[in-house]
A and B are shown apart, each in its own frame.
Chain A
Amino acid sequence: MSGDTNEKSMSIIVTKGTLDWAYPPFILATTAAAMGLDVTMFFTFYGLTLLKKDLDLKVNPLGNAAMEMPMGGGHMAMPNILAALPGATALTTNMMKNMIKKKGVASIEELRELAIEADVKMIACQMTMDLFEYKKEDMIDGPVLGGAASWVDVATRSDINLYI
């Protein structure tokens, strides 16, 4: 980010990999980078799936009583017993993706690309790679492999540290 006067920095630990939870870290990372901050994202556990070449993100309202979708002028929540049925994940994912498109919200693929373009540094958790048997060739190019110590090192030098 040459030419930027802002020397502040931010780190984000990304632990969740569902379609809904993928948004906060990428929105904050791209925005902070656009505002001149030096940004590092550490992807661990389910967050690591966000670094796969082929993203197939899903969302299910199961166990999330706060999730409601706009419908017919009001809002509808899905009872857990319905959310547990086969096809409920596909249905909810499709609904959310349609809303994302309709409301001019960026896709996660787009935000990830913008983050890379903006020189956001990405660290992929080596332990999670081993644990879930992810292969390096399934992941996008760019992120470096590292562990907890790598994040702590970045965090001690960051003005803002977030856990999402």
Chain B
Amino acid sequence: MADQVLDAKGLNCPLPILRTKKALKDMPTGATLEVLATDPGAVKDFEAFCRTTGNELVSSGEAGGIYSFVIKHTA
């Protein structure tokens, strides 16, 4: 279970990333954030976001058209 959940369902690029960044900023290092999204582009974007920022993408998955990403705030 992630420490915090961000509902970005229904939002299109780049809002899920922008909201994620905002949420991570207020979280302590080591805390985990689960992001829920419906934008299929988010799959590649969250990989890219984590690679560039140095935050850890712990897991990513999809169920019933809803994508979920667990990100560990490490950067």
Contact = CB atoms under 8 A, between A and B. Distances in A.
Given A5-B75, A6-B54, A36-B52, 16 more contacts: A4-B53, A5-B54, A6-B52, A30-B18, A34-B21, A34-B49, A35-B17, A35-B21, A35-B49, A35-B53, A103-B12, A104-B11, A104-B39, A106-B12, A114-B18, A118-B18
Interface of B: 10-15, 17-18, 20-21, 25, 39, 48-49, 52-54, 75
22 contacts: A3-B25, A3-B75, A4-B53, A4-B75, A6-B52, A6-B54, A27-B13, A31-B14, A31-B17, A34-B20, A35-B17, A35-B21, A35-B48, A35-B52, A36-B53, A103-B12, A104-B10, A104-B12, A104-B15, A105-B12, A105-B13, A106-B15
B18 A34 contact: yes
Contacts of B49: 34-35
Secondary structure class of chain A's binding surface, majority of residues: loop
B17 A34 contact: yes
Name, among A27, A35, A36, the residue most crowded by chain B CB atoms within 10 Å (CB to CB). Answer: A35
* Chain A to chain B: the 5 pairs with minimum beta-carbon distance, closest first: A34-B21, A31-B14, A104-B12, A35-B52, A105-B12
Contacts of B18: 30-31, 34, 114, 118
